[in-house]
Structure 1
Amino acid sequence: MSPMPSLAFGLALTALSLPAMAQEGSALSPRVVNEAAVPAVMAKAVDDFIIPGYRNLSDKTAALAKTSTALCKTPSTASRENAQAAFSELVQAWSTVEIIRLGPALEQNRFERFLFYPDRKSTGLKQVQAILAKKDETATDVASLKGKSVAAQGLGALEYVLYGNGSEVLSNKEGEFRCRYGVAIAQNLDTIANEFLAEWQKPDGIQAAWKKPGPGNPEFRDSKEAATELLGIFVHGVEMVKDQRLKPFYAGTVDGTPDKGHPKSAIYWRSQNTMPSIAANFAGLKTLFKVADMDSLLPEDSRSVAGSANFVFNSVIGISQTIDGPIANAIADDKSRAKLDFLTLNTADLLDRLNRDFGGAIGLGAGFSFADGD
């Protein structure tokens, strides 16, 4: 966590007071997509972010499977903590690439099998609790686990196994069944992560479609469609954080009344990974923005649009990293609540800069709103 919360907090204040430099681009003459620059941008997104991101994810799932197996073999407080640490590292890796919610992620329910969230009716919780209570042996086999509900086989289920009620038994032989269920989940996640990576690494698969938009391409008939898909990752990624990560547990002040908060609606609240995962979501988006060279899509007189967005990226990442510990404590603390307020405002500002300002500047703004899902 950042040792200088005041710096990040100051960034939030500064970001909100920035002049709307991005609006300069949208106020200029009508734009068209710089189609010549698109293939290189798409190729960099694949080669320098997506594939390395999924490779890192695969490494983390393998490490988790290994530490989970070691926990079952030699249960102890230390081995349990090792498995929990590996879980947190996996959450970081996943949160970085979960913004790529397309292509292989949508096939075979891979995304939902990896992370079922939001779980508004506590479907997953009830199913995991039932498996543990009944000691359902079919949940300890990867093949049969894959056929169960998506809510019982991903990160949410594993978090409950490692951190939920009764998880202390993992430190001794009493947790034998619970541990084997956890191993099956970890192995299932490893399988899915390897599938993500394999699909993107196929030379004639989705990466080829991304790198060569044009007639006959099954994904993108032209560079404008490709640019639209890529910008959509940023817009929908920020929108996801705003609506599915922040809003469920903290709405700030509503009609003049401070929201008491709903900490148990926050993602990863049991493992205290709520804010680290949000910071990783933003960090992934910022990294993709940089390595894909999104600036190159902008006209020369609108390059300030990218600088403005990057500044707000730094702000939201910095603020997220200063809010640590249990999310319930953060909501109860006035200073942390103030940070959450500014994070919420900056997230909305970033969404607007990407959706309206950047999209408009590169020729995707007229009558088009990613945020509305058009």
Structure 2
Amino acid sequence: MTLRTLLAVILLGLSTLHAQAQQAADEHYRHVLTDFIRPGFAALAEEANRHAAEWAAYCQAPSPEGLAALAASFQSLADRWAEVGIIRYGPSSQDFRNERFAFWPERKNAVERGLGALLKHPEALDPATIRRQSAAVQGLPALERLLYADGQPDAGLGSDPEEGVRCTAGSVISANAAGLAADMAAGWAAAPGLVTQEVRAQLATDIVTAYAILKDQKIEAVMGKDEDKVRPHAGAFWRSGRTMRDISQNLAGLAAVSALLFPYPPDDIALPHTTKTALGIAETIDDLAATAGNTATRNEAVLLRDAVTAAADRAIIEVPSALGVTIGFNSLDGD
């Protein structure tokens, strides 16, 4: 075999390997799109519609049973969002739908200030008005603020004219949230089947970012550097008592995605295992904020933080490789 022939064979082999790698990356992306993103956003839209209907029913005839059903519906909707809200690109980002549906982390008490302004003008509480307002009053955080008081569903909601205004606000905001969820679901359902390097990179960036948000903003921000620096109100959805539930559902979503990216992981792929490990630890913790003065709970929180850190470290390496891309930042860094 001549040198020229040998080089041709090598180049052909490399080209074949590259084509096979790209084909595998495209297939990984399609699995996540078809088996996680599309059904996840469809379920979100369905739950958002159900929640809006619960608001309308409760406000028409307030009762303890109706309030319990409304709160349960809120928790189910927040669960669906925690699972699929890790996907932030594409139809999720169009028209700032992601931020409008779940404005978090909250800055400068934006939800409270926005709701205060809305409730002063009940005559303006309609879907068109809500869509023109700050993202802080268009979705789940605003609904949580209206529905919960002192960690429990507010028994006074809708009980008098003043409370009735809050009920009306909840009905309008929940209808707006249902519209946003429907738009996201429709956008993903219509997303083109053609896979490009750009969309693979966007998916990889969102997955890596989701691990970073969990570690930095949802765990470390609450537990602090030591027991004296615990910040319960830094947690997501602390008013409705679902800070840990939100973390667990985030990890459940990430575990589902990692299983689709690595259905038969070789020995050198650790992400599915590390994510499941973190999820298992999260499901044993009732209250992440209860780490002040409680050594056992503090130790559990440290285990969770370390497990999520390990998963995040693997995600940075393994997710871009599975999707055939290189990323140098997460979506929180800007570009």
- Output the CA distance in 1 between the equivalents of 2:178 and 2:114: 21
For the residue of structure 2 that corresponds to 1:148, the secondary structure is: coil
Task: State the percentage of identical aligned residues.
Answer: 29
- For residue 321 of structure 1, what is the amino acid of its counterpart? E
Alignment partner, residue 257 of structure 2:
288
Of structures 1 and 2, the one with the larger relative CO (CA 8 A, separation 6+) is 1
1:271 aligns with 2:230: no
Alignment partner, residue 48 of structure 1:
35
- For residue 231 of structure 2, what is the amino acid of its counterpart? H
* 1:304 alignment partner, one of 267, 270, 273: 267
Contact 1:135 1:177 (8 Å CA) reproduced: no
Change in Cα spacing, 1:314 to 1:149, as seen in structure 2 (3 Å) is same
- Output the CA distance in 2 between the equivalents of 1:373 and 1:276: 28
- For residue 310 of structure 2, what is the amino acid of its counterpart? D
Contact 1:80 1:171 (8 Å CA) reproduced: no
1:241 aligns with 2:214: yes
Runs of 4+ residues over 6 Å off in structure 1:
none
For the residue of structure 2 that corresponds to 1:212, the secondary structure is: coil
- The alignment's C-alpha RMSD in Å is 2.5
* 1:125 alignment partner, one of 105, 112, 137: 112
- Output the CA distance in 1 between the equivalents of 2:295 and 2:276: 23
Structure-to-structure mapping, 1:85-124, within 5 angstroms: 85-124=72-111
Alignment partner, residue 12 of structure 2:
none
> With structure 2 as the length reference, what TM-score do the two structures score?
0.85
- For residue 262 of structure 2, what is the amino acid of its counterpart? M
- For residue 115 of structure 1, what is the amino acid of its counterpart? A
1:323 aligns with 2:282: no
Structure-to-structure mapping, 1:1-374, within 5 angstroms: 34-132=21-119, 134-138=120-124, 140-164=125-149, 167-170=154-157, 172-174=159-161, 175-202=163-190, 207-208=191-192, 211-213=193-195, 220=196, 222=197, 225-253=198-226, 258-291=227-260, 293-295=261-263, 303-306=266-269, 308-324=270-286, 327-329=288-290, 331=292, 333-357=294-318, 359=320, 364=325, 368-371=327-330
Change in Cα spacing, 1:272 to 1:114, as seen in structure 2 (3 Å) is same
Contact 2:232 2:289 (8 Å CA) reproduced: yes
- Output the CA distance in 2 between the equivalents of 1:137 and 1:242: 42
Change in Cα spacing, 1:270 to 1:362, as seen in structure 2 (3 Å) is closer
- For residue 253 of structure 2, what is the amino acid of its counterpart? G
Q: What's the offset of the Cα at 1:38?
A: 2.2
Contact 2:148 2:240 (8 Å CA) reproduced: yes
> With structure 1 as the length reference, what TM-score do the two structures score?
0.77
Q: Deviations over 1:314-342 (max 9, x none)?
A: 121112222225x5435553322211111
Structure 1: give runs of 5+ residues left out of the alignment. Answer: 1-30, 214-219
**Which is higher, the Rg of structure 1 or of structure 2?**
2
Change in Cα spacing, 1:274 to 1:167, as seen in structure 2 (3 Å) is same
- Output the CA distance in 1 between the equivalents of 2:41 and 2:320: 27
For the residue of structure 1 that corresponds to 2:268, the secondary structure is: helix
- Output the CA distance in 1 between the equivalents of 2:172 and 2:291: 33
